[in-house]
Structure 1
């Protein structure tokens, strides 16, 4: 589908701030009016559409904020419990808990990058996760898993859309929650999530396929982090 509109705008209507294309409210694939709780997020979504070149094809990969908002409306609202469970289950197998035993340079980097995040989760949520060497599965304390589940469930439908995306991409619920809470930047989240891969690239170099994959991961983390930050702006202001 090519660009079919001339102007984008934002207004305040039923349900929140709406994104307008030539004065008409944008709708999700499920035909729901796309409304978000903060003007900052609505303006950012409108800007995505405004940046589509005239008569160019509309590429959804260039509209990550729109996609996250639409997913929140169409999927999370109808499957909220499932999305919470699919996100919270990462508490039982969080990537940050599985450490290398060698080489020492990697062990040190994992410890210095990942352990402060686990310590933050323990202090913020009372969820102390167990760390092990190797990939053998370890059962995490039930109370820690339950408290991280509560932290996930506290998010709005739109927030869950981005939180699930971040968790899935990074392999770490702790990383995703740290970004959502403003404790971790998108750049640091990427560095934590891709620590092992970055370490290998530093040693052996990066091939074009891996470079493209890393660029995609960085793009998705950046978009999810930005979405959550914009969602946290003052609600329904003007």
Structure 2
């Protein structure tokens, strides 16, 4: 898409705050005007459109895309996304530890276990760990607690989690991030702990680093989105 507007404004409407380009509403993929109930989020979305270059790609408008997902895809059936996210909790990255080398397994325990403890203490979800690729079955009680944590998230928070959790491979890290218990950068580093370990041994790969940078931006945008809906 090419930039066709010069002026970006925010108008108060019945649904909250609408973003307009030269007086015309930004529209969702389904055709409805984009309006959000959070003024801080509306201001940030407007900022995306003001900062857009002559040629625009979707990555230039992450908050706009997340708002559209929350309104059109998630709000009509939030439980569908909650079920998908809960599946990440049943196979959470933090629960799968290396068998060898011992130093990596020790590092995983040092960096990951505190966040499993956080899930237990904060959410009541006691998740158990395993080594290697052997699957571990989490208790019904733990999964009910994670389901309860997801049930308390509205469509706006679910939109952020819908990006962050798959990117991290961990429901625990996603929930901790949107709760403000850790930064998006820390969550990303923890999720890529094995890759960072390998690179320390074998050296960095430019293509892998570029991919990680993109994932880091997605996680940061998702966390910012949720924060803006709580301002």
Q: Report TM bin, short chain.
A: over 0.9
- Name which of structure 1's ranges 161-170 and 19-28 shifts more when overlaid on structure 2: 19-28
The aligned residue for residue 197 of structure 1 is 195
Query: Is the CA contact (8 Å cut-off) linking 1:12 and 1:18 kept in structure 2?
Result: yes
Q: Distance in 2 between matches of 1:119 and 1:132?
A: 15
1:128 pairs with one of 101, 126, 129? 126
Structure 2 unmatched runs, 5+: none
SS of structure 2 residue aligned to 1:9:
strand
The Cα shift of 1:25 comes to 2.6
- Name which of structure 1's ranges 178-187 and 78-87 shifts more when overlaid on structure 2: 78-87
The aligned residue for residue 227 of structure 2 is 229
Q: CA RMSD in A?
A: 1.2
Compute the TM-score of the two structures, normalised by the length of structure 1.
0.93
SS of structure 1 residue aligned to 2:125:
coil
The aligned residue for residue 36 of structure 1 is 36
Q: Distance in 1 between matches of 2:199 and 2:39?
A: 40
The aligned residue for residue 25 of structure 1 is 25
Query: Is the CA contact (8 Å cut-off) linking 1:32 and 1:73 kept in structure 2?
Result: no
4+ residue runs over 2 A deviation: none
Compute the TM-score of the two structures, normalised by the length of structure 2.
0.96
The aligned residue for residue 49 of structure 1 is 49
Alignment coverage as a number of residue pairs: 231
The aligned residue for residue 182 of structure 2 is 184
2:217 pairs with one of 200, 211, 219? 219
Q: Distance in 1 between matches of 2:136 and 2:31?
A: 44
Greater relative CO (CA pairs within 8 A, separation 6+): 1
The Cα shift of 1:150 comes to 1.4
The Cα shift of 1:32 comes to 2.3
